[in-house]
């Protein structure tokens, strides 16, 4: 795993990738201040808290703190979300995590922790693409109400996990227009990432392929979508409701 221009490094207790990420950080020689390191809380073991779990993660990462600590899956903490969030807040207070947030949280999960929260989640990382966009409006509205950053994963899933759907011809038409306007190549993936970015959504890429990473970084140079193009993407997406991750 190489550390290069992409300084967001996404660890995960459940996927057991923290030791390899820590080794990559160490071998890169990069200054800690130049990196943004995230890890996610898995299902708690008996007697464990979010704070004690983070101490284990920090040892594996070889770090004194992470920049962002997320509750990965709300269902793994059913009936305990308020208690778990209090422990997350302790991590923030003690400087073990600069920011704390959540992942895969729906409206009810957010409301449960917001009731007694000293710190609201800084971010909610959720599956976002046109095939779920309509159903996500209530949670995105709650994000706006409480100043929670909306972060996305799986944004390209409709194109690569379910090709041939109603979205494909719409994206291809927009891609061709953007490429003509730009005078340089534009990919279908960049069209969807641009759509997300124009909503102010933080796009997280998990690809290990160098060309995909370069393409992701280059999205900033792609011309903006028109209002009509955005509407056409969402209209096509509304024709199918499909999630790709549980």
Integer Cα distance of 161 and 167 in angstroms? 12
Residue 40's CB is within 10 A of a number of other CB atoms, namely: 24
Active-site hit among 69, 72, 129, 216:
72
Is residue 55 part of the annotated active site? The answer reads no
1 in Cβ contact with 21 (< 8 Å): yes
Is residue 69 part of the annotated active site? The answer reads no
3-state secondary structure the chain: CCCCCCCEEECCCCCCCHHHHHHHHHHHCCCHHHCEEEEEECCCCCCCCHHHHHHHHHHHHCCCCEEEEEECCHHHHCCCHHHHHHHHHHHHHCCCEEEEEEECCCHHHHHHHHCCCCCCCCEEEEECCCCCCHHHHHHHHHHHHHCCEEEEECCCHHHHCCCCCCHHHHHHHHHHHHHHHHCCCCCHHHHHHHHHHHCCCEECCCCCCHHHHHHHHHHHHCCCCCHHHHHHHHHHHCCCCCCCCC
Integer Cα distance of 153 and 145 in angstroms? 22
Active-site hit among 15, 146, 199, 241:
15
Please list the active-site residues: 15, 72
């Amino acid at each position: 795993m190489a550390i290069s221009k992409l300084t967001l490094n996404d660890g995960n207790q459940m996927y057991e990738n923290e030791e390899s990420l820590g080794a990559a950080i160490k071998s890169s020689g990069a200054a800690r201040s130049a990196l943004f390191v995230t890890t996610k809380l898995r299902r708690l073991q008996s007697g464990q808290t979010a704070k004690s779990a983070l101490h284990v993660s920090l040892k594996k990462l070889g770090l004194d703190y992470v920049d962002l600590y997320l509750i990965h899956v709300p269902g793994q903490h059913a009936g305990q979300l308020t208690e778990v969030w209090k422990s997350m807040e302790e991590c923030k207070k003690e400087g073990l995590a600069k920011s704390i947030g959540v992942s895969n949280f729906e409206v009810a999960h957010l409301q449960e922790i917001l009731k007694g929260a000293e710190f609201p989640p800084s971010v909610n990382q959720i599956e976002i693409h046109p095939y779920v966009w309509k159903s996500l409006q209530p949670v995105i509205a709650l994000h706006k109400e409480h100043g929670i950053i909306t972060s996305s994963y799986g944004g390209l899933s409709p194109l690569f996990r379910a090709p041939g759907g109603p979205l494909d011809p719409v994206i291809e038409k927009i891609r061709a227009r953007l490429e003509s306007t730009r005078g340089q190549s534009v990919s279908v993936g960049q069209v969807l990432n641009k759509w997300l970015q124009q909503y102010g959504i933080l796009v997280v890429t998990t690809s290990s392929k160098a060309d995909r990473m370069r393409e992701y970084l280059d999205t900033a140079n792609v011309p903006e979508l028109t209002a009509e193009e955005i509407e056409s993407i969402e209209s096509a997406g509304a024709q199918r409701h499909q999630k790709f991750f549980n």
